[in-house]
Amino acid sequence: MNPIKILLVDDQPLFREGLRTLLSVHPDFEVVGEAGDGEEAIRLARSLLASVVLMDLQMPVLDGVAATRRLHEELPNVRVIVLTTFDDDEMVFDGLRAGAVGYLLKTLLQRNWQRRFAWRHAEKRSCSLPWQRKS
């Protein structure tokens, strides 16, 4: 099976570096690029053919909600999972309404989210990737 191609989008380089490191030890994941804002994310998603975008919500230039909306419209096969610190954040709802398939708490433990990510992607390869959902 081919690895899941992931684009990391967060305005904090240290967070992206840590996330890249966590993902790099798992053979099912391939980080194909990194972006520091929403505009760069859209440009890279078009050219790198990522299947999943891990998208921070609060970024300069173009925030994660607006970038998610544009990706959902322009590249509907790309699954966006929003990254957040708090699961009760109204921006999470905005991101889901914009087209994200779920959200990921930045504070999840490495083993827990890697296992869930791989399992969900394998189970729902052609469907949404429901990480955590809001009603």
Return d(Cα 36, Cα 65) in angstroms, integer.
14
pLDDT, one tens digit for every residue, the chain (135 residues): 789 999 999 999 988 998 898 888 888 899 999 999 999 999 999 999 899 999 999 899 999 999 999 999 999 999 999 988 766 678 889 999 999 998 888 876 445 556 656 655 554 444 334 445 454
pTM: 0.80
Q: Where are the beta strands (DSSP E) in the chain?
A: 4-9, 29-35, 52-56, 79-84, 102-105
pLDDT at 45: 95
pLDDT at 46: 93
pLDDT at 105: 83
Give Cα 15 to chain centroid, integer Å: 13
Domains, the chain: 4-123 (3.40.50.2300)
Three-class SS of residue 124? coil
The burial of 95, by beta-carbon neighbours within 10 Å (0-12 exposed, 13-18 middle, 19 or more buried), is given as: buried
Strand order in the sheet with 29-35: 29-35, 4-9, 52-56, 79-84, 102-105
